[in-house]
Amino acid sequence: MSETLSAPAAAKLGVRIHGTTQLIGVIGWPVGHSLSPSMHNAALEHLGLDWCYVPLPVRPEHLPEAVAGLRALGFRGINATVPHKLALLDLMDELTPAARAIGAVNTVMVQPDGLLGHNTDADGFIRDLRDGGYDPARRRALVLGAGGSARAVVYALASVGAEVTIVNRTAEKAERLAADMAAGTGGRVQANSFSRDALAELVAAAQLVVNTTPVGMWPLIDESPWPEEVPFPGQALVYDLIYNPRLTRLLRWAKQCGARARDGLGMLVQQGAASLELWTGRTPPVAVMRAAGEAALARP
């Protein structure tokens, strides 16, 4: 029995990789849950490009070999997700100023003379805020967490003139991040205690609260990084970088308090769109990418 697919069968299965197809992808461990292949391939099809975006599951100990092989395999670029964003810094031939200041790489461009590391997370975060009608410039922001995602968010906010306070259960990490970002941006960035009393005082004056921690992400959807005896003020926007589930326990509490709530799907879409534009030089179809991401989330 022949294993060759007919053209209609191939089209039905979504098979569209040829000898001329340009490859891009996302590297992580694990990476099977990523929405990026659905979003990017929908965009590439919309643009009529003979490109394909593939998931690349790579264990942390194999990252140097995987990155070294990108050019030999003909890749045009990759995105990076957990846990590789920090480790990629030392594997690049060149870094953009944003990637260097943030201390993380989420986008790699494979160039003839080497690998260029970008970070589009910060830009994606600001773009999504502004798409939602919120300008963070000169606002008072409270950021929960001090990990890799927090670095991009704090850098983004400080760069547009927001006043940022970082709180984290490990105070030393928050203090180091605040010092790094204040030095890297020249902005107003400080760290504070994660205690209930401190949070109550800080949030009363906050106009934007951003959760950068994974607390509340599927499958642990009943968890929250915020003590629910501390209410959010009605004038605040509460932004959760988590997008699965779309409505986290944190965001449910924000809505109960009368605050605005926004999930992280828009940031995922916007950072991906910025990466796609870097690789292809084409204006990305953001609405197409968002629709594909929403459809992927809706699948069981």
Active site residues: 85
Q: What are phi and psi of 189, to 5 degrees?
A: -130, 130
The residues near 155 (Cβ < 8 Å, ≥ 6 apart) are 98, 101, 102, 122, 181, 184, 185
- The burial of 279, by beta-carbon neighbours within 10 Å (0-12 exposed, 13-18 middle, 19 or more buried), is given as buried
The CA distance from 256 to 277, in Å, is 38
- Give helix 148-159 / helix 121-131 axis angle, nearest 10°: 60
* Residues β-bridged to residue 192: 167
Q: Are 212 and 150 in contact (CB under 8 A)?
A: yes
Sheet holding 22-28, edge to edge: 51-57, 22-28, 75-80, 107-111, 114-118, 94-95
Q: Collapse the DSSP code of 155 into the 3-class scheme (helix H, G, I; strand E, B; otherwise coil) and give the result.
A: helix
What dihedral do alpha carbons 274, 280, 281, 286 form, nearest 10°? -40
Nearest CA among 108, 109, 65 for reference residue 85: 108
